[in-house]
Amino acid sequence: MIADVASFLLLALALLLAWVVLGPVFFGAPWHWTGQGALRRALDLADAQPGETLVDLGSGDGRVLITAARDYGLKGVGIEIDPVKVWVSRLWAKLSGVSDRVVIHWGNVADHPCKEADIVYLYLSHQAVDRLFPALFASLKPGARVVTQRFCLPGLRPDKIDCGGTLFLYTGRKGQNVDGYR
């Protein structure tokens, strides 16, 4: 009896781990976590101000949103396609005491415009950035800032670069036309 329960729990844990590790391969968005140092530099680079809204496209475990809400006074909106990460990030936001300022949506980042964003944070693959980029910039409000980690936006020169050339800041203009996009 105890062996059956232990076997079931091990199988469930193995399936959960396989989903977390292999699931993103099927969605085209492997999980890249952001270290606290780079995260703080990204928020400083964007000149994050209390009360602003940060949208994290592909929010993973929610660490960007939680840090932004807890340490910078931002409202956070996350979009994540992996339901396990959505559940984990919602739980972590609640345990961190910021669930009143952090909302995580389960869905595809391509289906969520960033109209309300003062800051958009992206740590996505080149392929995902290329797919999202035209619609993203067309939906930004004037003065919104986009911070990308590791990958540049196609056809745009960053306004600022930090962290040894791995953080890039762009300032958007609504309806902006960028070198062959839009």
Locate the domains of the chain by residue range. Answer: 1-30, 31-171
| pLDDT score at 4 | 75
| pLDDT score at 23 | 58
Q: Do 72 and 139 meet the contact criterion of CB atoms below 8 Å apart?
A: no
| pLDDT score at 35 | 79
The residues of the chain scoring below 50 in pLDDT are 175-182
Provide the residue type at 108 as one letter: N
What would be the CATH architecture of the domain defined by 31-171?
Answer: 3-Layer(aba) Sandwich (3.40)
CA pair distance 170, 168, nearest whole angstrom: 7
Provide the residue type at 104 as one letter: I
Q: Is 108 exposed, middle or buried (0-12, 13-18, 19+ CB in 10 A)?
A: middle
| pLDDT score at 40 | 94
Q: Distance from CA of residue 166 to its chain's centroid?
A: 16
Angle at 166 between CA 165 and CA 168, to 5 degrees: 85
Residues in the chain: 182
